[in-house]
């Protein structure tokens, strides 16, 4: 399936609304999401059977031309096969939207494509295994791309194919006004169930004035360095320390109590008899309580990061962050829980597209740049600085301040001369090489939901002789 490319001046983002469906609508939502799961599992079994049959025939010396015909896993091939067999394998197919089945087939095509790319080496990262079947108690989701997909003029309902008019908990005024004004076009709608609650996410192509700042946004400064941490969500070079809500830590006591209660209930598996059994209603209610706590933790964490990154993109013209190796940092078992709770990699991901929305510039410092060990006043680099030392003391100039504030100031100082060079006021100093990258256009890098980076990160490179690390800013 070809990715949608918006025209120039348009970006693709998501609008997510919590639904308040009736009991009959809940059954319809579950029916359509179940249809997506059924189509995925059935076609996966078919592809697996053909793959095993061909391997068995090849082991007996059957020629390639005489092997069982291969079942293609592209979306058109899967859809063509499904339309031929759906009358026999799913006689109830007419009760659900065709988009529900297409959701499962599209997910299977993507999963098999990723598996093949991983085996051939064209996909980076850890080697992927063969796709697994989706379980009934897994994540329920279905995507609608055609049909009646719109927001109601009453600002309190959404329209979905085969599901009708569903009430929302919050107002849809922002999206409805954009659609009415012609500055937004709804591309698709995805319904998901999270901890017993249903949500609808609209993928929307929006005409956005890139670089336009809100009238209420104050002009706090030009350059800011942001040091993501654990004790504080982020520390700015201005001296501001953004508190970390630590939602998982706050809910740990309640979560532990709920999980112990769920462990005492009769679940769907009997460990003594080693067989499946019917789960009790109390077990299901206990599992739902655990899921609600986990969803609350995730929502609080996402809200804190969105508020911070939006404020940074609106108030500052240049933002500098670090390229953190979070996957390696969480290997420290003493910091793994706190790091995962803070989710420091979210900072760069959100700023990647929000800086493009508000006309800011994002720079990413190299992973090995010693921002914490370098004195922000005299640029002296300490040979060692343990994690337990929370205050930075410079033996050369006598500077003493919080180590995170010191690191944030060093990050901000990396690109201050970049802005001066762009303005023509000064040149890079002391033999430094600077190559600023300007932001991309609003429409050239879209095609993803708002939870993913839309605009490429603006990067600069700088070389210095102050320390052994020659790369301070690296292109990503």
Catalytic residue annotation: 227, 322, 404
* Contact criterion met (CB below 8 Å) for 291 and 254: no
Decide: 295 and 303 in contact? Cβ < 8 Å.
no
Taking residue 156's Cβ as centre, other Cβ atoms within 10 Å add up to 17
CB 108 within 8 A of CB 78: yes
243, 439 Cβ separation under 8 angstroms: no
d(CA 342, CA 305): 9
- Cα 358 to Cα 45: distance, rounded to the nearest angstrom: 48
Half-sphere exposure for 172 (CA within 13 Å, toward CB): 28
Distance CA(224)–CA(321), nearest Å, equals: 9
Best CA proximity match to 138, nearest among 30, 257, 276: 30
Torsion of CA 230, 259, 451, 139, to 10 degrees: 160
Q: What is the C-alpha separation between 226 and 236, in angstroms, rounded?
A: 5
The span from the CA of 294 to the CA of 292, in Å, is: 5
Q: Please list, in sequence order, all residues whose beta carbon lies within 8 angstroms of the beta carbon of residue 244, skipping any fewer than 6 positions away.
A: 229, 230, 231, 232, 233, 304, 341, 342
């Amino acid at each position: 399936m070809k990715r949608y490319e918006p025209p120039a001046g348009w970006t693709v983002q998501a609008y997510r609304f919590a639904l308040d469906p009736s009991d009959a609508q809940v059954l319809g939502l579950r029916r359509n999401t179940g249809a997506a799961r059924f189509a995925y599992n059935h076609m996966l079994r078919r592809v697996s059977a053909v793959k095993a049959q061909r391997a068995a025939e090849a082991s007996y010396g059957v020629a390639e031309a005489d092997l069982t015909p291969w079942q293609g896993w592209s979306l058109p091939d899967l859809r063509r096969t499904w339309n031929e067999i759906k009358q026999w394998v799913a006689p109830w197919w007419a009760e659900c939207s065709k988009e529900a089945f297409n959701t499962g087939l599209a997910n299977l095509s993507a999963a098999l494509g990723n598996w093949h790319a991983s085996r051939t080496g064209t996909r980076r990262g850890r080697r992927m295994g063969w796709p697994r079947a989706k379980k009934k108690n897994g994540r329920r989701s279905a995507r609608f791309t055609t049909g009646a997909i719109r927001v109601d003029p009453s600002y309190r309902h959404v329209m979905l194919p085969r599901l009708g008019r569903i009430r929302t908990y919050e107002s849809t005024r922002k999206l409805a006004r954009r659609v009415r004004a012609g500055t937004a076009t709804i591309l698709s709608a995805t319904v998901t169930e999270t901890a017993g609650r249903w949500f609808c996410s609209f993928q929307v192509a929006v005409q956005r004035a890139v670089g336009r700042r809100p009238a209420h946004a104050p002009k706090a400064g030009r350059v800011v360095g942001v040091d993501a941490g654990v004790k504080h969500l982020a520390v700015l070079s201005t001296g501001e320390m953004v508190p970390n809500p630590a939602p998982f830590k706050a809910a740990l006591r309640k979560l532990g109590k709920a999980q112990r209660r769920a462990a005492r209930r009769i679940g769907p598996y009997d460990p003594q008899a080693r067989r499946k059994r019917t789960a009790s209603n109390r077990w299901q209610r206990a599992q739902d309580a655990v899921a609600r706590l986990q969803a609350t933790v995730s929502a609080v964490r996402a809200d804190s990061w969105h508020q911070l990154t939006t404020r940074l993109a609106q108030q500052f013209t240049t933002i500098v962050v670090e390229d953190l190796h979070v996957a390696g940092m969480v290997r420290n078992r003493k910091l793994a829980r706190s790091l995962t709770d803070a989710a420091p990699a979210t900072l760069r991901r959100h700023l990647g597209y929000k800086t493009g929305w508000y006309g800011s510039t994002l720079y990413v410092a190299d992973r090995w740049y010693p921002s914490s060990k370098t004195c922000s006043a005299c640029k002296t680099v300490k040979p060692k600085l343990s994690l337990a030392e929370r205050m930075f003391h410079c033996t050369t100039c006598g500077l003493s301040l919080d180590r995170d504030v010191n690191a944030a100031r060093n990050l901000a100082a990396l690109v201050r001369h970049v802005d001066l060079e762009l303005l023509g006021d000064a040149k890079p100093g002391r033999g430094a090489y600077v190559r600023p990258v300007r932001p991309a256009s609003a429409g050239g890098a879209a095609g993803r939901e708002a939870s993913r980076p839309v605009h490429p990160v603006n990067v600069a490179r700088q070389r210095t002789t102050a320390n052994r690390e020659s790369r301070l800013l690296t292109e990503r």
